[in-house]
Amino acid sequence: MKKPINIFWFRRDLRLDDNVGFYEALKSDHPVLPIFIFDSEILDELPINDARVTFIYETLQKMRTKLQENYDSSIAMFHGKPMDIYKKLSNAYEIHSVYTNHDYEPYASERDNNIKEVLAKHNITFNTYKDQVIFEKDEVVKKDGNPYMVYTPYMRVWKALFRLQGIETYDSISNFKNLIKDSQLPNLNLSEIGFEISNQKIADYSVTPSLIKQYEDTRNFPAQDSTSRLGPHLRFGTVSVRKMVKKAIAEENEIFWQELIWREFFMQILWHFPHTVKASFKSKYDRIEWRNNEAEFKLWCEGKTGYPLVDAGMRQLNETGFMHNRVRMLVGSFLCKHLLIDWRWGEAYFAEKLHDYDMSSNIGNWQWVAGSGVDAAPYFRIFNPTSQIQKFDKNHEYLKKWVPDYQELTYPLPMVDHKMARERCLKIYKEAVS
């Protein structure tokens, strides 16, 4: 008879330490088989040289090596539909329980519910834990139980609750003796899952005390490249959010801390209002008559609008998979307001290109720039793409880096007149929302 095991399923939590679900699995009564599934439902949508897939793959290989060399164990790698993989696993092993961490995105929560149901029929429990946020779902809500739709009161209650509760750490490593003893668990090549190594690399993050201390003074200037680059690491869980919040607090930088709270604000919004993946949060914004001109959209995507700061941002995104937040706000506003192109087009383009793409933050921020979201920029706030240069890139350092041709004759003329576009936007928005 096979001996019972437990499974730990890695997803958006690619780290061995301070991982809540992994820690709970390792404390259980049965040996733990760690697994990762390259979910074909997700991968089929991505280009073959996607940098995020390379990053996930390489991170898992490092984790496997660490477990093989130090603990005579590993991580079993699979490719396919999760339900099919579980069927195979349940034939190969006597599974007692599956452990994993919560994933709040609509596709993931539906997938997890289905898997939980099927496993239950075989008397296998599906245990999931909060790991990627400090507060989830409806933990920070108004007194009447309704979600906050304005950031500042949400942030205040978040902080108050946090002060009451503090942060726990989850020492998975000291329980590694409970890992399944098998260093030859199945592996995969990138090519076996239909991908190749990307030539873009996901940047390392930096949360040094000096970066956090200076964050407030430097974060708005794209040429300084002085933000943490934590985005993809929080997205894929290569860092623990609990450790990052601790660092922010240790350096007493409220602003940096508050950025991490913006992330959770948008996560709870998506959880409470999953329809906002496709629909405007404020439904009357779906009455806007977008122009949706494909040729203009292409110029925006390629960074050829003739507005140097917009073009710099788009070229940075296309070349590196990153764009500075200040410039994201400008290019987003330019697309929705100057060009009157639906925020969903911009959201989809960012989803394809951004290394730190995260559904809740991307949708939340796109709806913020379009004016249609919670706590959004008012529709009549239209960034001037020229005066933004004076404010945030006075010495043109960012422009020179990303649009070196901006003063040459070959550089395109502005694709749209600012004054005309501003007035057109105000008219179209007003007709829809007032």
Q: Which residues bind to ligand FAD, rule: CB under 6 A?
A: 219, 227-231, 234, 259-260, 262-263, 266, 325, 328-329, 332, 350, 354, 356-358, 361-362, 365-366, 369
**Judged by CB, which is closer to ligand FAD: 120, or 348?**
348
Nearest approach in angstroms of CB 391 to ligand FAD is: 16
Closest listed residue to residue 398, CA positions, set 407, 411, 389, 386: 389
- How many other CB atoms are found less than 10 A from the CB of residue 398? 24
Rounded Cα distance between 301 and 415, Å, is 13
Alpha carbon of residue 68 to chain centroid: 30
Nearest approach in angstroms of CB 414 to ligand FAD is: 21
Rounded Cα distance between 190 and 50, Å, is 11
**Judged by CB, which is closer to ligand FAD: 77, or 260?**
260
Rounded Cα distance between 33 and 124, Å, is 14
Q: Which residues have C-beta within 8 Å of that of residue 33, sequence separation ≥ 6?
A: 5, 6, 7, 8, 76, 93, 180, 185
**Judged by CB, which is closer to ligand FAD: 34, or 321?**
321
Pair type for strands 125-129 and 76-80? unpaired
Token code pair at residue 326: 């200040």
**Judged by CB, which is closer to ligand FAD: 9, or 334?**
334
**Judged by CB, which is closer to ligand FAD: 6, or 333?**
333
How many residues appear in the chain? 434
**Judged by CB, which is closer to ligand FAD: 191, or 208?**
208
Nearest approach in angstroms of CB 394 to ligand FAD is: 20
Nearest approach in angstroms of CB 200 to ligand FAD is: 16
Nearest approach in angstroms of CB 229 to ligand FAD is: 4
Q: Does an H or E element contain 127, and which? A: strand 125-129
> For residue 242, which phi and psi values (nearest 5 degrees)?
-65, -40
Q: Using DSSP, state whether 77 is helix, strand or coil.
A: strand
Nearest approach in angstroms of CB 234 to ligand FAD is: 5
